[in-house]
Amino acid sequence: MRVAVVGSGPSGCYTAQSLVQLNPEVLVDVLDRLPCPYGLVRYGVAPDHEKIKSLQNNLRTVLEHDRVRFLGGVGIGPGGVLAARLRELYDAVVYCVGAATDRHLGIPGEDLPGSWSATEFVSWYSAHPDATADGFTTGVRSAVVIGVGNVAVDVTRILARGVTELSPTDMPQTALTALAASRVTDIHMVGRRGPSQARFTTKELRELGGLPDTEVDVQAEELALDPAYLDPSALPAPQRRNVEVLRGWADAVRQDAPRRIALRFFLRPVELLTDGGRVGAVRFERTTPDGRGGVIGTGQFEEIQAQLVLRSVGYLGVPLEGLPFDPATGTVPHLAGRVLREGTVSPGEYVAGWIKRGPTGVIGTNRPCAKETATSLLEDALTLVAEDRHEDPLTVLRAWGVDPVEWTGWQAIEQAEARLGASLGRRVVKLPDWQSLMNAAHGSTD
């Protein structure tokens, strides 16, 4: 049985792993649009989170399994291989394409120069080859990060970090140089609900308190607007721990550090205000709990000055041509991972990861999710395997003019990144653009 897994991030790799572990005969091709594997582990996990980054080693083991093959640089959809044609090459296809875009706020001024999605900023410092924007911190003293999830914490932390801490990471040289020259002194991370409802995890939150030359500023009276802050006893443990960390900061004696991270709550963004054609401030409305877990506006407003705004309000799945899609959830309708077309199981098509369950959970959440899908697929195996399909899909792809980057090509990219790092007196440094990635993959020194 030959299975294509589309996407080589955690959900794709864990799906491949489950398939080969659960069945001794299945052969898996893991396809990716990029010439590099690992998805958000390479292009989303913050460069200073080395421990999480090292999960790449686990994913590598999967892609180096003798019944798994990595085929990079293969886009699925218009301009690449259409989903229907891919399906002809394999007995089954599992889509693990993640949630490729970001949610919007839908407020005036959102698109002003200086206002970016957190994803754009993350892609820049992660060297994603599609990232074209730069100059995020040029002329910026004060930044506002909208949202209080783990991505908001990541971008806040990277803005607050100094060059000494960033230099050992694999951050591309242009981003390192720009962040080294940054004069950002104030970062305001703002939640529309209360501290007990923030989405960040305690480990990530606590890390903000350990940044050199940076103090975390919270307002006790603002935290106290949340009834659960005053009496956290009924909160689930993760939220209670968050509240305890925040209380510790509220009780701490103010220092006078060169940089400040202000954690704000009960403020919902209503407009980004312009200053000379760029963003100059964010106008927020003070909110108050509605007693049902949500908030309502109070009619009181506050402006926070900011020359940089990072909107970190979650990812969103995008439709893939040829697959059904539920725009309300940004996911593909499914039954235990089996793609549903108008409520009926579509033979040989599966989903796993964020395109299956939405953009939530940590990397490990993808393991059981992928296993469920792999189990469904293998239960269906007898109905899927086509007797007359004997040709290696790679041969057919090549005949169609597609020239995948195979594992050796990826290893050549890794070697080029090690050489680049050595030439800059750093460790591994990522190649930031398509041309240099493809040159490295194809062994060219141009």
- List contacts with ligand NAP (CB under 6 A): 105, 146-152, 154, 191-193, 197, 199, 204, 268-269, 312-315, 359-362
The distance of closest approach from Cβ of residue 424 to ligand NAP in the complex, given in angstroms and rounded to an integer, is 27
Q: Which of 104, 94, 100 is nearest to 128 (CA)?
A: 100
The distance of closest approach from Cβ of residue 156 to ligand NAP in the complex, given in angstroms and rounded to an integer, is 11
Q: How many helices (H) and strands (E) does the chain have?
A: 19, 18
The rounded distance, in Å, linking the Cα atoms of 229 and 244 is 9
The distance of closest approach from Cβ of residue 203 to ligand NAP in the complex, given in angstroms and rounded to an integer, is 8
The rounded distance, in Å, linking the Cα atoms of 260 and 124 is 23
Nearer to ligand NAP, 250 or 295 (CB): 295
Phi, psi of 224 (to 5 degrees): -75, -5
Q: What's the 3-state SS for 414-439?
A: HHHHHHHHHHCCCCCCCCCCHHHHHH
The distance of closest approach from Cβ of residue 264 to ligand NAP in the complex, given in angstroms and rounded to an integer, is 11
Nearer to ligand NAP, 86 or 306 (CB): 306
The distance of closest approach from Cβ of residue 394 to ligand NAP in the complex, given in angstroms and rounded to an integer, is 33
The rounded distance, in Å, linking the Cα atoms of 333 and 339 is 6
The distance of closest approach from Cβ of residue 372 to ligand NAP in the complex, given in angstroms and rounded to an integer, is 18
Distances (CA, A) of 186 to 24, 119, 139, 189, 343: 55, 20, 13, 10, 50
Strand ordering across the sheet containing 186-190: 115-117, 308-311, 142-146, 186-190, 259-264, 214-217
The distance of closest approach from Cβ of residue 407 to ligand NAP in the complex, given in angstroms and rounded to an integer, is 27
Minimal CB distance residue for ligand NAP? 149
The rounded distance, in Å, linking the Cα atoms of 395 and 274 is 55
Nearer to ligand NAP, 77 or 114 (CB): 114
Nearer to ligand NAP, 149 or 337 (CB): 149
Nearer to ligand NAP, 268 or 334 (CB): 268
The rounded distance, in Å, linking the Cα atoms of 322 and 77 is 8
Cβ pair 157, 207 in contact under 8 A: yes
Nearer to ligand NAP, 86 or 160 (CB): 160
Nearer to ligand NAP, 52 or 418 (CB): 52
